[in-house]
Chains A and B, each alone.
Chain A
Amino acid sequence: MQKISNSSLLKITSVLLILLVVAKVLSLVVLYLLPSDGVELNVEESYQPKYQRVDFKNMLRSSVKVTPEKKEVIKSGVSITNMILKGLYGTQESGFIIVALKSKPKNTSIIELGENYEGYKLVAIEKQSAIFEKGSTKYTLNLDTAKMAAKKYKKSTRSKAKNNVEVSQKIVSKSDIEHYAKNPKQIWKEISIMEVKEGKKIKGFKVTRIAPNSKMATLGLRKNDLIIKANNVVLKSYRDALNIYSKIKDIDLVQIVVIRNGIEKEIVYEIN
C-alpha cells in the first residue's frame, strides 16, 4: 500500500496551495501600496442668489415714505394679493425686501426682517419669496420682477453708469432661448467663442466670429468682445460659463460684462 505522503497528488496539491498563498500575499502587498479611495469631483457648492437689478432711486425715495403713520393706515386691511415683491436680499435670519402695493407700484418700501408692512409681519426670506405673518396665519409673497422690468424696458436702452461702465438692456424672447437650448448647434453656427488665458488662468471668453444678420448678432455682442462676467460670476473656467448655459431656461435676467476696445460694457438681457 502506497503512503499518502508519497502520493504525487499530495505533492501537486501542496505546490498549488503554496502558489495560492504566494499569490494572495503578493496581492495583499499590492493592496497595501495602492490607494483605498477613488477620486471624486469636489465641487464647491456655493449658493448663488438669483440675479436681480433693483432701481436704487426708487428704494431711496420709498424708504423715506415708510413712516409709523403709514403703518397705521395699513390696518385698514390690505390683502397680501395686493402686494408686489420687487426684490429681496438676505436669508432666513436677516435681510430685507423691497415691496410695493399693486395700486402704487412705484412707491416701494424696504422692509427688514421682523418689521411690519400693511399689517403683515415679515418673518422669513426665501430664495424666491418672502414669508409674512398676520395673526397666526402665514402668507407667502412670491418675487415678481419680470413683468415690472419688461414694462420698463420695452426697447433696448442704453445708459452710462457712474463708474463709466456702459450699460445696455435688451429683451430676449423665451422661445428663442428654448430654440437655442434644443439646438445648441445653431449657437455655434452663429457665434464662435474661445478662451483667453492670462498665464494658466482663463481671463475670459472672446467672441471670434459672429454671423451677420443672425439672431446672435442682434444681442449686442461684437467680434473681439471679451466676456468676463455673467450674472456677476467671474468666468474663470468653462464650468462657470456652462453653469449659466445650463440654467438659461430658468433664468429671466442675464447680465454679462464684456471688455470692448478696453472699456467694460454691461449688457443686460431681459428674458420674457
Chain B
Amino acid sequence: MVKIAKLFGYTLFFILALMYFTPKVALYYFAEMQLKPMSVIINDEKVIDNGFSLSIKDSTITFKAIESAKIQTIDLVFFGLYNKVKIEGVTLASTAASLVPTKVQSIELSYHIFNPFNVSAIAVGDFGEAQAQVSILDKALQVDLQPSKLMNKEYRATLKNLKKTKDGGYEYAKNF
C-alpha cells in the first residue's frame, strides 16, 4: 500500500515538474505555426509563462491579413486531467458590427478527463450568453444561444440564420 502511495506521489511530482518545466512559450509559438495555414495570425501579443499556466496579453487576431479582433487576456491552463482556456475582453473588428455586437466579455473553453470526448465552452457578451459543445468523436459543434435584448433588437438578420428553440433561445449545429 505504501509502495502504491509512493508510486502515485512520484508520478504526480513528475507530472507537475514536467508541466512546470515545459517550454510553454515555445509550445505557443508552435500552436501559432499550426494556425498560420488557416490564415489566422496572433499579433502584438505579450506571452508570459506563469509556471503552470500561460498568459497572452493584448493580442490582435488577424484572419486573412484582416484585423478581426482584439483580445485583452488569454489564460491557458493545462493540467492534463483538467485544461482550461479563458479569454477575456474581446473586441471584434468594426467590420463584424453588422453581424454581431462587437464586445465579448469572456469565453471559457474547458476539457477534462471525466468527459474526454467533448470540449465545452461558455461565452458571455453583448450578444447574450452562449454555450457550446464540441464532440471530438462525432466531429460536431453544437451552440446554444440565449440572445440579449440588443441582439434580439438589432441583429435579427443574424438570428434568422439560427434555429429557434422552445425556450426562446437559438441553436446552431455544424459538422466538421
- By a beta-carbon cutoff of 8 Å, the part of chain A in contact with chain B is 12, 15-16, 19-20, 22-24, 26-27, 30-31, 34-41, 43, 184-185, 187-188, 237-239, 242, 245
Contacts and interface: CB of A to CB of B under 8 A. Distances in A.
12 contacts: A12-B6, A15-B10, A16-B10, A19-B13, A19-B14, A37-B29, A38-B29, A41-B62, A184-B97, A187-B98, A242-B95, A245-B95
A30 B23 contact: yes
A43 to B, nearest CB: 7
B64 interface: yes
B139 interface: no
Interface in B36-77: 36, 41-43, 45, 47, 62, 64-66
Contacts, number: 81
B10 A19 contact: yes
B22 A27 contact: yes
Tell me whether chain A's interface is mostly helix, strand or loop, or mixed.
helix
Contacts of B98: 184-185, 187-188
Nearest to B25: A38
A31 B94 CA distance: 38
A144 to B, nearest CB: 31
Nearest to A181: B94
B33 A35 contact: yes
Contact of B65 (A16, A37, A188, A239): A239
B23 A23 contact: no
B43 A41 contact: yes
Contacts of A27: 18, 21-23
A17 to B, nearest CB: 10
A185 B97 contact: yes
B4 interface: no
B29 A34 contact: yes
Given A19-B17, A39-B41, 8 more contacts: A24-B21, A30-B23, A30-B26, A34-B30, A36-B26, A37-B29, A38-B28, A39-B36
Nearest to B18: A23
Interface in B121-176: 154
Contacts of A239: 64-66
Contacts of B29: 34-39
Contact of B41 (A12, A40, A184, A188): A40
Contacts of A16: 10, 13
Contacts of B41: 39-41
Nearest to A34: B26
Contacts of B30: 34-35
A39 B62 CA distance: 11
The CB with the most chain A CB atoms within 10 A, among B6, B47, B65, B154, is that of B65
